[in-house]
Amino acid sequence: MSYGQLIELYFSRSNALQWYWTVYVVVIGGLLAFSSLRQRPDRITGILVTILYICFAYKNLGAIRDVSYERYALLDLIKAAPQVESATPQAGREVQGVRDALLPVLNPPEFTGVRNFHVACDILTVAALWAMELRRKRAWAERTPVTTVPTA
């Protein structure tokens, strides 16, 4: 595999990673919007939505992990690639200049930090879902008058 193909593949994996984060943010936004628009409290719906979200978050984090490890492997290959060969010395110097400028800025974050951020966002999302559910429950209780049954 040529040096240019390695670079192309690295950025392809970076784009895939960006898409996983985009889907993650869109799902959180949609989930919180859905939860905020519900009128009646419903514990079963809250539990189901929470379970589905946790399943989604787990799989999304797994995909992010896989793509991150692919990026690490490609970066190792890019760093280990022999000096760029070219048909002409001028083209070789240009490609080497790109390599020298590019390598120092290819610094993907460690996966542990990415994982911790993802899990923290997951916890906050579930907390927000249940905070809205509790708010709905209180508001519903305030609107619904309590009727007492007379005892004989």
Give residues with Cβ within 8 angstroms of 63, minimum separation 6: 20
| Average pLDDT of the segment spanning 30-48 | 87
CATH number of residue 64's parent domain: 1.10.132
Residue 40 lies in a domain: yes
Assess whether pLDDT exceeds 80 at residue 58.
yes
The predicted model gives 119-125 an average pLDDT of: 97
Q: How far apart are CA 94 and CA 19, in angstroms?
A: 32
As for how many domains the chain has, the answer is 1
User: Dihedral of the CA atoms 24, 30, 32, 33 (nearest 10)?
Assistant: 160
Domain residue limits at 46: 3-85+101-143
- From residue 5, give the alpha-carbon distance in Å to each of 11, 113, 144: 10, 28, 65
